[in-house]
Structure 1
């Protein structure tokens, strides 16, 4: 019996020592991984489809996440300048350069990365519908800027301008991102007995005349988060203000540049959240364990100068709790 007790206690001691050793090794491995993440400089490819305020904010937010986390990164930033061919070339170069991770801002750039790269983590942001864009591969995740509040935006418009019967929608016909939004705008407008006049464009040269046509034939404009259109918001807003027609936008940078209002999202925060997801991946979390996210944080913004030009009181109950901003 005594011999049995000695053997049992010996076994327990061996087990305990083994467990402590295992826990110690696990802690060391975890510490080493964390040291590698913090100490290493990662090669990150950042491709942006074109320059405009919202996409610029996404990039700033993404890079800020790395700064706040103390993660060193060599950001190789490229801009496709609105050209799909260029976006694909950028993606091919990132693949050849064996980046640790790549980030596509806006649908065309995200599509270029997803279509060209399968062995590197791909992050995206400012993509309205990733499923429709066909970018949700096993190595792809990110954040969507899809807005599900078109009906609410139209309600605000009708409270501010009860006489609105016909709204104009301007968009780039080659952007899948915009086509999805236009269909939603049509659906929501029909439910409110509003007529929709759609004007498609394919390049900057067509924007000025298309805007004139819409402003002349409608009571208000509703702009989706279209890269081509948003990059020309100053021109569009100016034309509409001169004609005393309100412009409803889908993001706050357009309001800063002259649109009347939006109940939109913060693109800086959207980019920052994408950066946080990227850091999780660099620390070892599988991309497949991080589903893409759609921002639910909406805020009402109104341009005080534009409202005044249109004869709208910013103290209107429809604009309650709105952030009042001035045109740049």
Structure 2
């Protein structure tokens, strides 16, 4: 049959072709969008299978030891850093302003931050292992090509997590894993109140508060939620003490929290203090098997839906 604008059959064929094309688009486009969305929101399905680069903690350890050595060599008391970013340049956001840093550091005019090129820090002679000053320093992920580190005790308050439970659990697992395995955190106690069995030594609220009160050693306290009433207020008061050596991370948001991170399934967490950080860059020291990970995610999702 030859095509003709004056033949009714030709018009019918054209109409059918257009309908079939639009029908195909109606199926294909939503499918592509759904697949891309699932890929973006299913970071939990593969993140636990990624092993942490064994060299990563030692690179950070070298930076922390360089910080300590540069201050010791110049007779400068290190003021502590709440946040650190490590890339081609290292930036320290200090716990208290200091405008006279040692070499090779440069201070901002207000003294709130120091920066130094990585190559210069590599040249700093090291004098000792990283001190207990850094016992609660953990990486919370990556921002572009930079690793974002936070000294949890320097927050001087509770760091709370909000968002979908599987995502919160995944980030918390990575924080605990680092404190247990990082060379500068050796000996840091990890106590757990009401959380998962692998989130530290299980203790009561009273015992946890007693440990933070004593402040005998550096420690990380992991709580399922900030204790209610007077216990919660006392814990927050203790964490706010200058020079305290304990940090606290809560698996649920709370009005008394100093920081709150919104943890997302797409592999990021968002907060006013850190911006958007990619937590899936944090591999586990011992990754979970793929089948175990998939089952765990399914179970956690089901438990959250039931709740």
TM-score, L = length of structure 1: 0.27
TM-score, L = length of structure 2: 0.29
Q: When you count helix as a share of all residues, which structure comes out higher? A: 1
| RCO comparison, higher one (Cα < 8 Å, 6+) | 2
